[in-house]
Amino acid sequence: MGAQQALRWFAPAVLGFLALAAWEWVVWAREIPPYILPGPVQIAQTLARDWDSLSVSLLVTVQITFAALAVAASLGLLLAILFAQSRVIEMSLFPYAVVLQVTPIVAIAPLIIIWVDDVRAALLICAWIVAFFPILSNTTVGLQSTDRNLLDLFRLYGASRWQVLWRLKLPSAMPYFLAGLRISGGLALIGAIVAEFVAGTGGTASGLAYRILESGYQLQIPRMFAALVLVSGTGIAIFMALSLLSHLLLRRWHESADTGEHR
């Protein structure tokens, strides 16, 4: 168990280190100029040197991502609950949620940026559109897949609609909601970045995507990579945080969080 756990961290770490070393070596041996491909050491140095400006951009992107995720999670959950209460509402609204999902964000982002004066708000809306659907559709499925016999049992004991929702349907839907949230966490970040790319230099919000664009124009490729590292790092951190949240909430009862101690 302990050795297995160690291997899970150790193996990818070794692989990552070897890849970075090989990258550094190729850049050094073939004398590739930094404006084509900087080595990892130089990227790390740039990250440290420009940390002041980059961290401000990181904060902006993280704020937009989390705000979008929070809105997507609460609205998605509320709408899914509404769907579970009324079949008519679900049938009328769900197709539009699908439309929202299948329309490429790159295509509608310019419109949103034109319509919404505040750039941050525009970015938030774009990130929200991308992050919204997985939560809505997962939670809807979750609310519908409540055990039929348990529903009968609640009916037998005269449970109110509210009791059925709160004590039965929502806990049943929890694993589905959390799976949706995990997908949406990454999507919210992508939405925020993509929207900022579309907003381009007009952006006064200056998140990480803006830094990447700006560095590209100025041919400061190491800085571009540094910003990219931060984007990836943020995505990984969000995924891990949401996985941890999901594990903590489900570990005692759900199969997906089975740690092997019960069987």
Partner 1 sequence: MAKRYGTGTLAVQDVNMDLARGDFLALLGPSGCGKSTLLRMIAGLIPSSSGEIAFPADPEARRGIGFVFQEPTLMPWATAARNVALPLELAGMPKREAHARAVEMLARVELAGFEDAYPRALSGGMKMRVSIARALVTKPRLLLMDEPFAALDEITRFRLNNDLLNLWRDERFTVVFVTHSVFESVFLAERIMVMAPRPGRVVRELRVPAEDHDTPEFRTSASYAAHCREVSHALAAAMEVA
CA 24/CA 41 separation, integer angstroms = 7
Amino acid at 204: T
Chain contacts with partner 1 (rule: CB under 8 A): 147, 149-150, 152-159, 163, 167-168, 171, 174, 252-255, 262
Backbone angles phi, psi at 117, to 5 degrees: -65, -45
The CB-of-139 to partner 1 minimum distance in angstroms stands at: 16
Of 8 and 155, nearer to partner 1 (C-beta) is: 155
- DSSP code for 219: T
Q: Which is nearer to partner 1, 118 or 152 (CB)?
A: 152
In whole angstroms, the minimum distance from the beta carbon of 39 to partner 1 comes to 50
> Any idea how long the chain is?
263
**167, amino acid identity:** R
Residue 195 to residue 189: CA distance in whole angstroms: 10
In the complex with partner 1, which residue's Cβ is closer, 171 or 200?
171
Cβ neighbours of 262 (radius 10 Å): 8
Cβ nearer to partner 1, comparing 10 with 253: 253
**Closest distance between partner 1 and the C-beta of residue 145, in Å?**
13
Could you give the dihedral angle defined by the CA atoms of residues 107, 101, 248 and 64, in that order, rounded to the nearest 10 degrees? 30
Token pair 């756990």 in the structure block, residue: 5
Q: What's the DSSP call for residue 32?
A: -
- Give 30 or 252: the residue with its C-beta nearer to partner 1: 252
| Minimum gap (Å) between residue 178 Cβ and partner 1 | 12
Q: What one-letter code names the amino acid at 64?
A: I
CB of 259 to partner 1, least distance (A): 12
